[in-house]
Amino acid sequence: MSSPGALLTRRTVFDGGTGLFSQLALALVCAAYAVGSALGWGSVSMALVMGDFGLSVAAGTASVSCLLYARSRRSRFRPAWLLFALSSLMASLGNLVWGWYEVVLDRPVPTPSYADLFFLCFAPPAIVGLLVLAKRPVTRAGWVCLALDAWLIGGSLLTLS
């Protein structure tokens, strides 16, 4: 049996945003967004705002989350999480610039633009971050596998960006 003060020392669900309440809130927001997209709610201009600025906010949130995790004491791979934060920041800025041209200025995005620069700078920190997480190979075959993995990941991220 626990002491009467034990309940007062328990961690609350609002501690650090990792509790059940914040997870349910995030799930509800994502579900509402998915249902709205499937049913075609809103207008074309709203779709442009959500497609450009919504993705920018999502990537920015991911960047802040990675940065906060890298600063925590639980983080074993701090450099990798800092690189993931940088990568997400680049994606956020790319979508922000894209939205600025497409939504605010109401004109096509020029080629090349700062959005292209940010999208190209998205992949390298993500690749290096993933390599930092990988175990250091001890054999020549392990190094070849690591190089092939890096090449595949880099090609995939470059294609996506």
Q: Is pLDDT larger for residue 81 or for residue 133? A: 81
Of the pLDDT bands very low, low, confident and very high (cuts 50, 70, 90), residue 118 is very high
What is the reported pLDDT for 150? Answer: 81
Nearest to 99 by CA among 63, 42, 49, 47: 49
Of the pLDDT bands very low, low, confident and very high (cuts 50, 70, 90), residue 88 is very high
Token pair for 10: 């328990």
Of the pLDDT bands very low, low, confident and very high (cuts 50, 70, 90), residue 131 is confident
User: What tens digit of pLDDT does each residue of 13-63 get?
Assistant: 444 556 788 889 889 988 987 887 788 777 777 777 777 888 899 999 999
Tokens 């997870």 -> residue = 23
Sign of CA dihedral 99, 103, 108, 114: negative
- 107 contacts 101 by C-beta, under 8 angstroms: yes
Tokens 């790319």 -> residue = 94
Q: What predicted TM-score, i.e. pTM, was given to this entire model?
A: 0.68
What is the reported pLDDT for 50? Answer: 79
What is the reported pLDDT for 11? Answer: 46
Judged by average pLDDT, the poorest of 6-20, 90-104, 133-147 is: 6-20
Mean pLDDT of 111-115: 88
Of the pLDDT bands very low, low, confident and very high (cuts 50, 70, 90), residue 102 is confident
What is the DSSP secondary-structure string of 129-142?
HHHHHSPPP-SHHH
Mean pLDDT of 120-125: 89
- 131 contacts 146 by C-beta, under 8 angstroms: yes
Q: Is pLDDT larger for residue 64 or for residue 30? A: 64
- Give CA angle at 15 (70, 61), nearest 5°: 45
- Confidence check: pLDDT of 128 > 60: yes
